[in-house]
A and B are shown apart, each in its own frame.
Chain A
Amino acid sequence: MKNGIRRRDFFKTIAAGGAATVAVAGCADRPEKLIPLLVPPDNIEYIPGMPVDYATTCQECPASCGVVIRTREGRALKAEGNPDHPISQGTLCLRGQASVQSLYNPARLTSAMRREGEKWVAADWDAVEAEVAKKIKGQSNKKAIVLMTSNRNGTRQKMVNQWLSALGAAPKVVLESLANHNIREANKIAFGKSELPVYNIESATYLVNFGADFLETFQSPVRNNREFANYHAVNEKKAAKNKFVNIAPHVSLTGANADQWVKIAPGTEAVVALALAGEVMRRSGRGDGNLKGFLSGYTLEKAAEASGAKVEALAQVAKEISKASSALVMAGGTLVASETGTAAQVAVNILNHVAGAVGKTIRFGTGQQLDISTPTSEVLALVDRMKKGQVKVLIVDGVNPLYHLPKSADVEAALAKVETIITLSTQWDETSRKAHYALPGLHTFEKWGDANPQSGVESMIQPVMAPLFPVKSSEDTLMSLGARMGLAGFGQGQTFKNYLMNAWKGKAGGGSFDAFWRAALQKGGVFAKVSGGGAALSGGATKMNFQPSKLNGTGLVLLPTPSLRQRDGGQTFNPWTQEIPDPVSHVVWDSWADINPKTAEKMGIHHAQQIRVKSPFGEVVTTAYLHYGIHEDAISIPLGQGHFGSGSKAADGHGVNVLDLLPAATDKTSGEFAYLTTRVEVSVTGEPSFLVQTDGNPRQDDRGIIQMMSLEQFAKGEPPELPHELESPHYASDFYRNVPRPAGYHEPYRWGMVVDVDRCTGCSACVAACYAENNLPVVGKERMFLGREMAWIRVERFIEGEGEDYTTLMQPTMCQQCGNAGCEPVCPVYATYHNPDGLNAQVYNRCVGTRYCSNNCIYKQRRYNWFEYEFESPLHLQLNPDVSKRSRGVMEKCTFCVHRIARARFDANDEGRDMRDGEVTPACAQTCPTQAITFGNLADPGSKVSRMSMRDGEGTPTGKRVRQYEMLESMKNLPAVTYLRKVTIKNNEKEA
């Protein structure tokens, strides 16, 4: 094992400490003998082979979803949503699922280190800490000491503030690439409330979105996904569906879920929003005279002219907003973050005001802490100070300014001027390589803390395992440094845990703190409901300059977009985020540039051709991706790639960093980083490109793989007509129903699944969950090019419709556990067989690897081990002991998490009963933020899956199948997975 941690030591450490009560045990003297954990220490309740769950909080983004970490033998295996937590409500996104990979990141900093020249030398912790304390203390000008930290809320920020003020240093600098200053500033201007509101998507009846990627990274994606699915899913009883209109120059995953896309030119959000506001006002009569006068200057015609959108389309949206009982307009993300981004947000606020959303679907006073970052303008000013040599000591705590600030800001030169840089980061990254001292921090799952994403959500962070490496949490390091320097309030031997408990003492109320603390740890925090309220529009709102800001350079408008998988690039170190395809483009391990095919044709660019993108500030070489979901005058490159100095194989050398093209510009009003500032020249390099896409074909060629129906058809109860060869569904045939089954077969269980395509947003959390649960190896770009990814579940994506008038269909597909499978009869050695529960079980040890089963699988859901796959140390510690790791030459596949079924069966057998409905949940269904996947027993007519699937022959028919379909059902493979059709809303542009 390369990284210096030995399995023995690891277990010994665990045994010595015990996960629940461990503080900082990593540096302890190591015992000499290996003591198996058959007799565990007294202070932890531990049964060998049984998982222990700990509630904590995910810190991959500021949303701070509550998670439950499953541990086995003292190591964290998998993150799942905490059902008690109000933000995540038991579900988790892709990045949250991948958080265990950042815990076991092979590029983690493993000990205190000191840089000597260009070489990093491991050193004794205390020695480095003493040296660092001396350096900080010796700094005469305390204002020349700067601490940069990450955008994570909670008590730690209070401690950091206290530390800095005790030292007399400058206030902390909080870095965040995807900040929300524009929104906060616009709320201050429009409503007099300098805060972030909570968007109550669930309670809306009409949703308009100006480019906010709320299903990907915007604010709280898990909550947004859940609320959006509840908002957008068809109401089966009323046969109604809420419409979602996306007004943006680019279609990301969020846009792909929209019922209507109004394509506008980049930067014209403000004029469009104001024109809509004017029209809504005219129709609804809301708003006062002043506003009316102001808005009369913004007509739909003018907006249409400026944005390139159709007047009819805008008129229709305005009409629908004014008719809606509870409309909501969202705006945000990088697409509206121009130099006049605040103005755009103010315009949207005005629209929300006239639409009556404020106080209903947009609520203030909920104490949103999703963005506590320092405005980028101030960060850039700091960089300037650094360049001038005015910063002597820089403490970098879990942030990476060298990567996250554009090259044009020249952070590298600034860092070179700083005398002493101390990194407290958990892993190597571009910035920590430039530091002089490393006092590495612990991962969230190894330390104490809390998060407070909004009022009423006091989320607990507790260590779920002993630290992997002999390092301290950054909080403890700071406190220890404080003690060494004799700062006021930082006594010797104090830990952040004590600090945290003291901070929480005030929350305990009357009862015993110990009981309160234990309850909070168990539950994952303390939660209360905060509903928030409205705000009145102030007159200042109309005083902004709403015209699009001027862009630098010539050519196409560059639209940097956040990545669903890597957010801003902070998650790129986790290999799953690279391996799981982007659900819209299906590109892996790379950057790409979305270009409209019409533009591409004019410029002579083909799909997957290598292009050079050049702005006045820099250039990158990437690959063209022809996509109708982008404005003709724009080009979009996702954030998050192009790491170069992290030492992580997953991140370094893949793709390009789009920030290299951008100037260090900010919004004039709020100081937020301006992403929409630049035009770029695009040219073909002529070099061969290597773009890897996992989709075999973007169109499904009328094969009914993913099906949809219109709302009218749904209301009438008429399933859409299928092509001839897809007809003759099995439930219409007597043959299979009358085939006698052997006794005990499918009794009492026939496991099945229902996937609601209408709820699925394509967020790919299920894929990440499957990787985590089932020990799926990461194969890398070259092997993915050959189709050798090992994903047992994939989100298939097909494009329906021609040109810009297209619909994106997405659906998770996994092994369909056919009742009449193709794989089973063809295996010569019974490695795959039909088990009594109806699963197409796979016995890895029996497989000789003929691959016939895969050839004969009509869904192609089987994966083959082409090589012996390695899990780079220490990532191998994440492997789930419940699932065997497959060797080379063996076929593997989804079995509905059969080990979970087995565990539930044991429990049920112990209690002498059958498994209950909902007792078993496969990893994919468990994590699904929109709860699109339902799992259960088809043999039980009362189970949820039976009721939802309305299947014949398995359970009891419960009515006419309207939305239900099985993939390729005409093949009569009797799949156990029923899909529910996506319901589309007809776009009645002409009615307006």
Chain B
Amino acid sequence: MSAITYADVNRDILKTMVRPKPAYYLLISGSLFALLIGGVSLAIQTDVGLGLSGISHPIGWGFYITNFVFWIGIGHAGTLISAVLFLTRAPWRNPIYRAAEAMTVFAVMTAGLFPLIHVGRTWFAYWMIPYPNQRMLWTNFKSPLEWDVFAVSTYLTISVLFFIIGLIPDLAAMRDSATGTRKKIYTLLSLGWTNSYQQWLHYMRGYLLLAAFSTPLVFSVHSIVSFDFAMSFLPGWHTTIFPPYFVAGAIFSGMAMVLTIVIPLRKIFGLEKFITLHVLQSSARLILFTSFIVGYAYMTELFMAYYSGNHFERSLFYFRLFGEFSDGAPFRDAHLFSWPSLAFWTMIFCNMISPLPLWRWKIRNNIYALFIISIFINIGMWFERYNIIVSSLQRDFDPYVWGSYWPTIIEAGITLGSFGFFFTLFLLFIRAMPSMAIAELKESIPAPMKHKKAHS
């Protein structure tokens, strides 16, 4: 980064906040449209009832919880990048950590919507919050869903705090250059930052503390989310491998989402100088690594289902892989096409096979390849959650109540809306806040010297 100067940083990064390219408007109008569809779908569902979704008996959870886990997982990469990689001093994180952190906050916000969307009486969802009330009612702390309430709200709080703290010096920089209403807002948000030595000292301490505080959350939140499943009786859910498996999967999907976001960002705003190929290929390595953990988890699940000899587990996993296990003939038609097994093989292809080319240096440094692979992984990780949630519910203990699941247009609309929600927030963020950490970027470039050959 020797060619970059402080002025470059200021100009290029703050440039994202003035008039952007038309591509930006295209993206944000697309996102807003998706959000509109989601909003309308949700309004209809809230008015009429959850019956408009494809969720049924016995498949009590479907797209909504899949989306919940998916978005929570997305969030993890942000925290990993901003906190864990900060603590481990991985300098390649600097150009992307702000975007990743914003991604975390928005992803957790999106995820947090789904428990509200999927409950039958959304208007009473606050009953899940323990607060002293005149009805003397309390919540059940034995329920993994209750743990979720705490895990997700804690995660959101810490992520938002961490995000805002990290923004302070940059907001101050923007305050200095902004005018009018913007200036007022930035003044308020920058909390009187004067760039003094004292402030930097406290700031760095505070940042370090929050990073240390966030780090366990990377592991705990998704572990707790996985408890929703692991703590139940259901074959396919009741698995001790879930916490590490979910955490690895979360980082895997989060890193992929970072690439999905950062690559177009880099292109649209011309940030190639900052988000270098080195940054991208470092992310790709992390993806490759977590892909192997996830793949290992898949194989372990399958092996354990076989090795345990448990009939319920075995037939469920057979069902996931190949469709019907039990011969329903002649009362049933042979299913040539099995939707659950399609979900399973999509997951295997996207999460285990598609990252394999990343072994090659060339692929890792090819932004098109990286982008395509990151999309595959996003799809694959969504299907992983779908696969776990839906196929297990489809084939549980009593064959009499086996069922099938097919999403409705309302669910698809709300799912689309969640992407709209996320990307709208993210795109607005890019316009309103520096999407890269100005201060930290400046940290990593050489200080300006009068002589050009000061440092090597």
Contacting residues of chain B (296-321) with chain A, CB-CB under 8 angstroms: 309-312, 315
**Interfacial chain A residues near B309, Cβ < 8 Å:** 724-725
A698-B331, A828-B128, A828-B140 are contacts. A855–B403 as well, Cβ < 8 Å?
A: no
Residues of chain B with a CB closer than 8 A to A867's CB: 48-49, 51
Instruction: Determine the chain A residues whose CB is within 8 A of the CB of B121 once the complex forms.
Output: 847-849, 887-890
Contact yes or no, A889 B49, CB < 8 A: yes
In the complex, whether B124 has a CB less than 8 A from a CB of chain A is yes
Of the listed residues A606, A698, A813, the one surrounded by the most CB atoms of chain B closer than 10 A to its CB is A698
A617 within 8 A of B: no
Q: How far is the CB of A256 from chain B (nearest CB, A)?
A: 14
B180 interfacial contact with A, CB 8 Å: no
**Which residues of B304-346 are within 8 A (CB) of A?**
309-312, 315, 325-333
The reply to whether the CB of B60 lies closer than 8 angstroms to some CB of chain A is yes
Q: Tell me if A's interface is mostly helix, strand, loop or mixed.
A: loop
For the complex, what is the distance from the CA of A326 to the CA of B263, rounded to whole Å? 88
A847 to B128, CA, bound (A): 10
Residues of B within 8 A of A628 (CB): 330
Q: Interface range on chain A: under 10, 10 to 19, 20 to 34, or 35 or more?
A: 35 or more
| Chain A residues near B118 (CB-CB < 8 A) | 850-851
The answer, yes or no, to whether B397 is at the interface (CB within 8 Å) is yes
Q: Which of B95-151 contact A (CB under 8 A)?
A: 115, 118-122, 124-125, 127-128, 137-140, 142-146, 149
- Give the residues in chain A near B233, CB-CB below 8 Å: 822, 856, 858, 971, 973
Q: Using Cβ atoms and an 8 Å threshold, which residues of chain A touch B122?
A: 889
- Residues from chain A with a CB closer than 8 A to the CB of B140 are 825, 827-830
Q: Chain A contacts of B311 at CB under 8 A?
A: 701-703, 723, 725-726
Nearest CB in chain B to that of A609: its residue: B333
Whether the Cβ atoms of A828 and B146 lie closer than 8 Å is yes
Binds B, one of A147-155, A791-799, A917-925: A791-799
Write the chain A residue with the least CB distance to B145: A828
- Taking a contact as CB atoms under 8 Å apart, the answer to whether B332 and A607 are in contact is yes
User: From residue 862 to 899 of chain A, which have CB atoms closer than 8 A to chain B?
Assistant: 863-868, 887-891
Q: B400–A796 contact, CB under 8 A?
A: yes
B58 touches A864 (CB 8 A): no
**B402 contacts the other chain (CB 8 A):** yes
**A866 with B331, Cβ < 8 A, contacts A825-B143, A852-B143, A889-B120 known:** no
Q: Taking the complex as formed, is A4 at the interface, i.e. its CB lies under 8 A from any CB of chain B?
A: no
| Residue with the highest number of chain A CB atoms closer than 10 Å, among B49, B137, B329, B398 | B398
CB-nearest residue of chain A relative to B229?
A855
Instruction: Confirm or deny: A597 has a beta carbon within 8 angstroms of a beta carbon on chain B.
Output: yes
A838 CB, min distance to chain B CBs, angstroms? 18
Residues of A within 8 A of B145 (CB): 826-828, 850, 852
A703 to B325, CA, bound (A): 13
Residues in B with CB closer than 8 Å to A829 are 127-128, 137, 139-140
Q: Which of B120, B138, B330, B398 is close to A860, meaning CB atoms less than 8 Å apart?
A: B398
Is A740 interfacial (CB 8 A cutoff)? no
User: Across the two chains, which residue of chain A brings its CB closest to B135?
Assistant: A846
Are the CB atoms of A703 and B398 closer together than 8 Å?
Answer: yes
From the candidates A608, A783, A794, A868, name the one contacting B400 in the complex (CB within 8 A).
A794
A797 to B400, CA, bound (A): 7
Task: Give the complex CA separation of A723 and B312 in angstroms.
Answer: 11
Q: Which residue of A lies closest to B238 (CB)?
A: A856
Contact status A626-B49, CB under 8 Å: no
Which A749-786 residues have C-beta < 8 A from chain B?
783, 786
| Residue contact A703 to B232, C-beta cutoff 8 Å | no
Kindly provide the distance from the CB of B152 to the nearest chain A CB, expressed in whole angstroms.
13
What 0/1 readout, one digit per residue, does chain A (684-703) give for beta carbons within 8 Å of chain B?
Answer: 00000000000111111111
Do B332 and A698 touch across chains, with their CB atoms under 8 A apart? yes
* A976 → B minimal CB distance (Å): 17
B56 touches A786 (CB 8 A): yes
A23 within 8 A of partner (CB): no
Whether A846 contacts B137 by the Cβ 8 Å rule is: yes
Q: Which residues of B, 23-81, contact A by the 8 Å Cβ criterion?
A: 48-51, 54-61
Closest to A833 in B: B140
Which residues of A sit under 8 angstroms from B231, Cβ to Cβ? 826
**Contact between A701 and B325 (Cβ–Cβ < 8 Å)?**
yes
Chain A residue numbers with a CB within 8 Å of B332 are 607, 697-698
Verify B60–A696 contact, CB threshold 8 A. Answer: no
Residues of chain B lying within 8 A (CB to CB) of residue A868: 49
Question: Closest Cβ of chain A: how far from B306's Cβ, in Å?
Answer: 13
B234 at the interface (CB under 8 A from A): yes
Query: Are A607 and B331 in contact, CB atoms less than 8 angstroms apart?
Result: yes
Give which listed residue, A607, A855, A889, contacts B333 with CB less than 8 A: A607
**Cβ of A754 to closest chain B Cβ, rounded Å:** 19
A606 lies within 8 A of B51 (CB):
no
Please state if B56 and A788 are interface contacts (CB–CB under 8 Å).
yes
Which of A696, A826, A967 is within 8 Å of B403, CB to CB? A696
**In the complex, how many angstroms separate the beta carbon of A220 from the nearest chain B beta carbon?**
31
Q: How far is the CB of B316 from chain A (nearest CB, A)?
A: 11
Whether A705 lies near B399 (C-beta < 8 A) is yes
In contact, B56 and A848 (Cβ under 8 angstroms): no
Q: Once bound together, how far apart are the Cα atoms of A849 and B137, in whole Å?
A: 17
A828 adjacent to B60 (CB under 8 Å): no
Name which residue of chain A comes closest to B325, CB basis. A701
Cα–Cα, bound, A854→B59 (Å):
9
In the complex, A108 has a CB within 8 A of chain B: no
- Assess whether A75 is interfacial by the CB under 8 Å rule: no
B397, A859: Cβ atoms under 8 Å? yes
Is the C-beta of B409 less than 8 angstroms from some C-beta in chain A?
no
The answer to whether A703 and B328 have CB atoms under 8 Å apart is no
Q: How far is the CB of A155 from chain B (nearest CB, A)?
A: 47
The residue on A at minimum CB distance from B148 is A828
**A628 and B329 alpha carbons, distance in the complex (Å):** 10
Report Cα–Cα, A138/B328, bound state, in Å: 66
B416 beta carbon closer than 8 Å to chain A = no
The 0/1 profile, CB within 8 Å of B marked 1, for residues 584-607 of chain A is 000000000000010010000011
Contact of A849 among B120, B138, B228 (CB under 8 A): B120
Q: Which of B328-386 contact A (CB under 8 A)?
A: 328-333
Any B CB within 8 A of the CB of A717: no
Q: Tell me if B396 is interfacial: C-beta within 8 Å of chain A.
A: yes
* A968 contacts B by Cβ under 8 Å: yes
Chain B residue at smallest Cβ distance from A822: B233
- In this assembly, does A627 line the interface, its C-beta being within 8 Å of a C-beta of chain B? yes
**Nearest chain-B residue to A851 (Cβ)?**
B60
User: A848 with B128: in contact, given A798-B400, A825-B140, A866-B49 (CB under 8 Å)?
Assistant: yes
Residue A539 at the B interface, CB < 8 A? Answer: no
Rounded to whole angstroms, the CA-CA distance of A355 and B310 in the bound complex is 52
B403 and A787 contact, CB distance less than 8 A = yes
Q: How far is the CA of A600 from the CA of B57 in the complex (A)?
A: 31
Whether the pair B403, A858 counts as a contact (CB closer than 8 A) is no
Say if the beta carbon of B401 comes within 8 Å of chain A: yes
What is the CA–CA distance of A858 and B399 in the complex, to the nearest angstrom?
A: 11
Given A828-B145, A866-B49, A889-B49, does the pair A787, B57 have CB atoms closer than 8 Å? Answer: yes
How distant is the Cα of A625 from the Cα of B325 in the complex, in angstroms? 21
Q: Which residues of A contact B127 (CB under 8 A)?
A: 829, 846, 848
Shortest A866–chain B CB gap in Å is 3
A888-B398 CB under 8 A given contacts A783-B51, A787-B403, A827-B143: no
Within 8 A of A (CB), among B240-299: none
Report 18 cross-chain contacts, Cβ distance below 8 Å, ordered by A residue: A607-B332, A696-B400, A699-B399, A705-B400, A725-B310, A787-B56, A787-B403, A794-B400, A798-B399, A827-B140, A829-B139, A829-B140, A830-B137, A846-B137, A854-B60, A858-B233, A889-B49, A890-B120
**Residues of B participating in the A interface, judged by any CB pair closer than 8 Å:** 48-51, 54-61, 115, 118-122, 124-125, 127-128, 137-140, 142-146, 149, 228, 231-234, 309-312, 315, 325-333, 393, 396-403
Known pairs A786-B57, A788-B56; list 13 more (Cβ under 8 Å): A697-B326, A701-B315, A703-B397, A825-B140, A825-B142, A830-B137, A848-B128, A849-B120, A855-B232, A864-B50, A889-B49, A889-B119, A891-B120
Give 10 closest A-B pairs by Cβ, nearest first.
A849-B120, A889-B120, A696-B402, A866-B51, A851-B60, A597-B330, A697-B399, A626-B330, A889-B121, A698-B331
